[in-house]
A and B are shown apart, each in its own frame.
Chain A
């Protein structure tokens, strides 16, 4: 950038150009959406298959895999923070949204545990609709913040599934989180990744 005399129009052009440049810098690559989308889908389908065909009481043990994914997520976020060259206000808001979601999920899990002690196995009818409502919240917020419609559509899909789930037989209800993940995190996750890669290609002039 050369230092030459500037008119008011030149100043406005620079301001607009630079603000647009900063705005177009898209940090979100969809990695965590895809990670959690696939993990939850895998756990959901495995839980269903074990319950349906093996009929063992420990069918839900596969969900322990989510703790491994959580450990990986902490490691991944730490590394990503070290690598990033710019921190936007959007990044901070998205982190807050996901922290609130994880805290809410943990608290709801505790509450569902208490319901289990009170009503026994009937508590299964509450689990998936409540979890699907929760999945929809950060997805909707992320979609709105990133101005990315597929996430908003996915969130609405999760909320519709939460209404449909109680109408299904108990075992089949276990498949609904997988369906929710497909429309809310997996498909939009691949679209976010494509958008990120497109931005990176433009940045590197490819």
Chain B
């Protein structure tokens, strides 16, 4: 059987959870991701930065009603990487 290599950036529980959430919506606030993944703010921030460095997510920091707001959305590169990851995953599953 031909096993494809899994993208190490996505093959992590929290980063994969973040990407799965972002792929389903247009954009989401940091607080939404924190609530849905049950991650700590610090850990989430670190993992989001790793995804950003890989070019998989875009992070926009702005102010809303005088409070800082962080909006995240998946990039076209991220969509391709996610799609390739799922395809690679399928090669590991019994047919």
Contact = CB atoms under 8 A, between A and B. Distances in A.
Which label, helix, strand, loop or mixed, suits the secondary structure of the B interface?
helix
A106 to B, nearest CB: 28
Interface string B38-81: 11000100000000000000000000110000000000000000
Interface residues of A, number: 27
B26 A87 contact: yes
Nearest to A8: B92
A64 interface: no
Contact of B93 (A6, A8, A17): A8
Nearest to B94: A8
B17 to A, nearest CB: 5
Given A1-B37, A18-B36, A86 B16 contact: no
B13 A19 contact: no
B84 interface: no
Contacts of B64: 82
Interface in A16-51: 17-19, 21-23, 25
A85 B32 contact: yes
Interface of B: 6, 11-14, 16-17, 20-21, 23-29, 31-32, 35-39, 43, 64-65, 85-86, 89, 92-93
Interface of A: 1-4, 6, 8, 10-12, 14-15, 17-19, 21-23, 25, 82, 85-89, 91-92, 203
